[in-house]
Amino acid sequence: MPPAAAAPGPKVSLIGSLIYRPGGASPLEFFTGLARTYGDISSYRMAGEQLFLVNEPRLIRDILVTHHRNFTKSRGLERSKRLLGEGLLTSEGGTHLRQRRLMQPAFHRDRIAAFGDVMVGDADRLRQSWTDGAALDISREMNRLTLSIVGKTLFDVDVESQAAAVGDALTAVMESFWMMMLPFADVLERLPVPTLRRARMARARLDAMIYRMIADRRASGRDHGDLLSMLLAAQDEDEGGGMSDRQVRDEAMTIFLAGHETTANALMWTWYLLSGAPEVEATLHAEVDAALGGRLPSMRDLPALQYVERVVTEAMRLYPPAWIIGRRAIADYPLGDYVAPARAILITSPYIMHRDRRFYADPERFDPDRWTPAFRAALPKFAYFPFGGGPRQCIGESFAWMELILLVATIAQQWRLRLVPGHPVVPQPLITLRAKHGMRMTVERR
């Protein structure tokens, strides 16, 4: 049977096809509605692009792994080049492969293990700074913590004093995301649009910080054995000689921002979910107390913190920081009973897939106990993929898992976090899955 001409999907007006939020719906609500209404493959015309939403593990594996050479990055990351340049997240082909090989040693298991004490030390300093009963924006607190960790472990610089400025700048860039996805965004960016003006100024502030970091390291001439030293010592295979400041900047910016933003969001959502699940929280506290006996955790304690790992795993099921993954088809691509035409964008969403009741009983429920060895073994590979998959799978996945488990254990050892009554919790799907109004929580000493 020949493939059908078009996958099912809603009919929209001409104006509706030019925007990304039909009827003003949240992108999370819109894409979830597509999957629930039209099944594993649905299609929609949006912002001048033909989109296919794919929500079936085998098809997702084919896109990200088996047939990955048939695709390039999609519109979202094309637009992200304004901030990230030609870094690991946005580059293609030989450039991406070369840069990934270059950076892989920085994320080797033995090197990551040495970072554990830095992670725990920073978390200890943060928890000691809290006051019993204080109401804090845990989103900002976690961003400050993970930014400090990335700065020290991968770039050997202390950026803690700049955390607020970096956070504000990154927020300004993030908030321009959906506007920059419009088909006429290049024209808009030349106009005095407040959101885009703030984003331009924010990019300039972030650039200044990264370039200053590069200049200081070049001036010192010392090899610190970290990621920044690897970048500065690398030889450009195409042009010979070392990488330019611009090339180093693009890679440093990508790792610097992606490496702390996603982990901070995962931590924030974990505390939010624990706040509403006192029985889960009690089980987590019991494991932490038994495993650590009051001392700070280390890499050696990870095997004894299995319930902490389940809590983090379940939190990233419900609120995966990278909530959407897109690929652009290079040529016509068979997709089940349909064909995605060349240049169509194929979208997969961990957020939607992770809430699919075919794979998760009571999918909206926060239930770390579901992650038994038997459940994991039976779960299709791409029914859970918070770090993506294939050759472009997150290079820092092992780093992030260790960081998440150690930080949750360290903070939970001394504190309970409770959502401030009445605080609105609204997921904000930008490049990452943030909380629109932050996460105001009261910290209670255990």
**Every domain of the chain and the residues it spans:** 16-445
* Strand boundaries in 274-374, DSSP class E: 325-329, 333-335, 338-340, 345-348
> What is the number of other CB atoms lying within 10 angstroms of the CB of residue 5?
7
3 state SS of 347 = strand
How far is it, in rounded angstroms, from Cα 45 to Cα 24? Answer: 16
The full DSSP string for 211-274 is HHHHHHHHHH----SSHHHHHHH-B-TTT-SBPPHHHHHHHHHHHHHHHHHHHHHHHHHHHHHH
Residue-level pLDDT at 63: 96
3 state SS of 418 = strand
Residue-level pLDDT at 166: 74
Task: List the one residue out of 439, 434, 438 whose CA is nearest residue 177.
Answer: 434
Q: Copy the structure tokens of residue 368.
A: 């770390």
Residue-level pLDDT at 1: 42
3 state SS of 46 = strand
Give 203's DSSP letter: H
CB 102 within 8 A of CB 267: no
Q: Which residues of 365-386 are buried (b: 16+ CB within 10 A; e: fewer)?
A: ebbbebbeeeeeeeeeebbbbb
**What distance lies between CA 413 and its chain's CA centroid?**
26
Residue-level pLDDT at 237: 58
3 state SS of 437 = coil
How far is it, in rounded angstroms, from Cα 189 to Cα 195? Answer: 9
Which position has the token pair 């150690």? 406
CB 265 within 8 A of CB 321: yes
CB 144 within 8 A of CB 126: yes
3 state SS of 430 = coil
Q: Tell me what percent of the residues of the chain surpass a pLDDT of 90.
A: 52
Task: List the one residue out of 99, 119, 42 whose CA is nearest residue 337.
Answer: 42
With residue 45 as reference, give the H or E element that holds it: strand 41-46
Average pLDDT, consecutive stretches of 10 residues, N- to C-terminus, the chain (446 residues): 67 61 72 93 84 96 94 67 63 72 75 88 97 97 92 82 72 62 56 70 82 87 81 67 79 79 95 98 98 96 98 98 92 94 94 97 98 97 94 85 97 98 94 93 97
The topology (CATH level 3) of 16-445 is Cytochrome p450 (1.10.630)
